[in-house]
Amino acid sequence: MKPTDLTPVIDLIAEPGTGPLRERRPQYADLLPPCNHACPAGENIQAWLAEARSGRYREAWQILVADNPLPAVHGRVCYHPCESDCNRERLDSAVSIHAVERFLGDMAVRERWPLPPAAPPSGKRVLVVGAGPSGLSAGYHLARLGHAVEIHDAGPLPGGMMHFGIPAYRLPREELMQEVRRIEEMGVKIVLNHKVGNLVAEKDAGRFDAVFAAIGADVARRIDIPVRDAAHVVDAVSFLHGVSSGDRLCLGRRVVVYGGGNTAMDAARTAKRLGAAETLVVYHRDRAHMAARAFEADEALEEGIKIKWLTSIKEIAGSALTVEVVELGPDGAPQSTGRFETLEADAVVLALGGQTDSGFLKQIPGIECGPDGTVVVGPNMMTGYAGIFAGGDMVPSDRTITSAVGHGKKAARAIDAWLSGRTDAPARKRPIVSFEMLHLPVYSDAERREQPRLAAGERTAGFAEVVAGLTEAQATYEAQRCLSCGNCFECDQCFAACPEKAIEKLGPGQRYRYHYERCTGCAICFEGCPVHAIEMIPEPTAAG
């Protein structure tokens, strides 16, 4: 069944004083699953997995898109921190949450399921600057709350870095565009090729009541490397943007990518697909300190990309690169050794991170920007100028698509509260269920279903998607591997174990009722509950 939210739904019959003397009694816990807690988009993962495990896919998708309108995208490109925190990892392996999310997202695209209807019109208008993940998320959630939304973006296509920064072999454009179109079908208007200059003037001219600024970090970070002669040097952001726009760039046979993040891995793998015979990543740290996700580096290595660790580029002179071998100090920072080498390359791609071009905000009174272009916002994501909010890569945070989508949802709710004159109290945090809190019986291993992948030798021939989705049977199986940590899933363990017959089964989806007049407080139900959905609480006193 679908786990409940914060409030227990079971009617607990209590008749203090009529039953046996006891010091404690059972009560439903309804705790927070670690997967839900770890999701930057704030998805109710356990709830939609519970629907998927029963084959109710549309219901699962509806729960999912209540928080995130881009599940087909996230099922492909999210780094799934939910799985890193999954308690099942301590048994055999984490539930493949991202693969089930992709399955649901792809099914919704195929079946053309519409997003939930918007609330009645509020009469308020909101401008969103940037059609990337944060802007699209904010637009979607604002529309659901009944506000009229326009998204203005400088690019020729919506999606931001999802479209122009992530290669098609990781994120096919059709699935991305289908999910964007669904947001437009809700009534969100996207205006392309429209760069916002004077934000306050734009707000006033459009008679917008509030603004959410969410442009991406698409300005390459500069580094002082002397470049002489005719060396072909390009930044990774421009390179990936050009390839995604259809430019068939020729970098030559030997390409060096400087950097160790996920963008560096994408740039190296893209260069390989464009015909580079030798692609070398030069990075000034070691594998243990690499910024890129481990699987990103593994896939690059599988495709023949080489990585030269503990190396820093000092000068580029034509096709010759002077590099220095470095060592890591006690703090993990690279230190000079004075040992130099020479490498040969036809082109160098600089993948040293990106910054936000927030210049259009700096002249607005009250708005503060950091040296990296990020904007200072309050807890409600509003800047120092009333009615202008910011999020995504524009604010200090983990720069991932999932975090950006979470910012969009948070900002939409904050904007709605501000427009309504409300001050919403923070939601009460439920305790997180750790693995040690579970009372699991002896589980047999349920091997995780891995997604099929193109053979390494086939990948670099083009930009076909490398990772495929799960079948329906595989996705359902994966959903069934969920332990339902902290929330009752009606396994009947407590019902069967109670020696006093003090637990009544209410039927599918209704859980159980405790008859406290029979309960002795023996805690057998608590000890038998595999997922810690029951806790023993002190017996209320007569005065209480």
Please state, in angstroms and rounded to a whole number, the distance separating the CA atoms of residues 129 and 305: 37
Neighbours of 347 (CB within 10 A): 21
Query: H/E element holding 334?
Result: strand 334-344
Range of weakest confidence among 84-93, 340-349, 366-375: 366-375
Q: Is 427 domain-assigned?
A: no
Q: What is the mean pLDDT of residues 110-124?
A: 94
In the three-class reduction of DSSP (H, G, I as helix; E, B as strand; rest coil), residue 255 is classed as: strand
- Claim to verify: residue 213 and residue 360 sit in the same structural domain: yes
- What sections of 385-492 are H helices per DSSP? 401-420, 456-459, 472-480
The residue among 332, 353, 374 that closes a domain is 353
Task: Please give the residue range of the domain that contains residue 529.
Answer: 1-31+486-544
Q: What is the mean pLDDT of residues 25-38?
A: 94
- Which of the pair, 402 or 18, is modelled with greater confidence? 402
pLDDT at 370: 82
- Claim to verify: residue 340 and residue 226 sit in the same structural domain: yes
The distance of Cα 488 from the centroid of its chain, to the nearest Å, equals 26
pLDDT in tens, 435-455: 999 998 866 678 999 999 999
Return the closest-CA partner of residue 179 out of 263, 75, 98, 63.
75
Tokens of 44: 């109710």
Q: What's 491's domain CATH number?
A: 3.30.70.20
Number of domains in the chain: 4
Q: What's 465's domain CATH number?
A: 1.10.1060.10
- DSSP letters for 110-163: HHTPPPPPPPSP-S-EEEEE--SHHHHHHHHHHHHTT-EEEEE-SSSSTTTHHH
Residue 454 φ then ψ, to 5°: -65, 145
pLDDT at 534: 95
How would residue 143 be classed by pLDDT, with cut points 50, 70 and 90?
very high
pLDDT at 21: 64
∠ CA 195-400-84, nearest 5°, is 170
In the three-class reduction of DSSP (H, G, I as helix; E, B as strand; rest coil), residue 36 is classed as: helix
303 touches 271 (CB < 8 A): no
534 touches 12 (CB < 8 A): no
Q: Is 506 domain-assigned?
A: yes
pLDDT at 10: 39
- Claim to verify: residue 137 and residue 48 sit in the same structural domain: no
pLDDT at 538: 92
The distance of Cα 292 from the centroid of its chain, to the nearest Å, equals 16
Residue 527 has pLDDT above 70, yes or no: yes
Neighbours of 98 (CB within 10 A): 22
| Residue with the two structure tokens 């990781």 | 170
Residue 287 has pLDDT above 70, yes or no: yes
- DSSP letters for 304-333: T-EEE-SEEEEEEETTEEEEEEEEE-TTS-
pLDDT in tens, 5-24: 433 333 444 444 344 568 89
Q: What's 252's domain CATH number?
A: 3.50.50.60
What percent of the chain clears pLDDT 70, i.e. is strictly above it?
Answer: 94
**What's the pTM?**
0.91
The residue among 303, 337, 353 that closes a domain is 353
- Claim to verify: residue 231 and residue 331 sit in the same structural domain: yes
- Claim to verify: residue 204 and residue 143 sit in the same structural domain: yes
Residue 133 has pLDDT above 90, yes or no: yes
- Claim to verify: residue 347 and residue 227 sit in the same structural domain: yes
Residue 362 φ then ψ, to 5°: -65, -25
Q: Is 435 domain-assigned?
A: no
- Claim to verify: residue 152 and residue 240 sit in the same structural domain: no
- Claim to verify: residue 69 and residue 94 sit in the same structural domain: yes
